[in-house]
Amino acid sequence: MAEPPAPLTPDEEAVMRALGRFLLVMPRALDADLEREQRMSASEYSVLRHLSETPGRLLRMSDLATACDMSLSGMTRLATKLESLGYLRRDRCPEDARGANAVLTDAGLARLQQAWPTHLASVRRHIFDHLDGLDLRSLAAAFTAMTTDT
């Protein structure tokens, strides 16, 4: 029989508690800044950002939902809103007539570029201003390892 895991040290326990709080508070803080200054949700920003980073500024709706950690029905509702604002359009997928691609419009890219400074300032204020002196490469590698082991 395997040995039970060792209990957490006080430092490990402190990291777990701080991480749990961070995971709850940080998305709300970043979203609140975008909402207040840009009248844009973090989810809307995420959709526009993901589309802006892909070749042809397009993604299959199901892939966009996965990239944004949303259900397909949630992505469909959000895409409908963004489409009504002129920020994206949905085209039939040429490889599969049942599927659709979300395509970032020029207006959507312009909107993302308008919101980007607000998001950048928020990320700096809420996150990076508190990480002075830490090895960011090691931190990024640890976060990446934690999320690829699942």
For 37-128, CATH number out of 2.40.40.20, 1.10.10.10, 2.60.120.620, 3.40.50.620 equals 1.10.10.10
For the chain, percent of residues with pLDDT exceeding 90:
91
Angle between helices 10-38 and 42-52 in degrees, nearest 10? 90
Residue 71 reports pLDDT greater than 90? yes
Residue 123 reports pLDDT greater than 70? yes
**Which element (helix H / strand E) includes 66?**
helix 61-67
* pLDDT at residue 97, as a whole number: 75
Q: What is the pLDDT of residues 9-62, one digit of tens each?
A: 999 999 999 999 999 999 999 999 999 999 999 999 999 999 999 999 999 999
In terms of Cα–Cα distance, which of 78, 23, 72 is closest to 47? Answer: 78
The mean pLDDT value of the chain amounts to 95
Residue 150 reports pLDDT greater than 80? no
CA angle 68, 31, 78 (to 5 degrees): 45
Residue 118 gets which letter from DSSP? H
Q: CA 122 → CA 23, 26, 48, 130, 139, distances in Å? A: 16, 10, 17, 12, 20
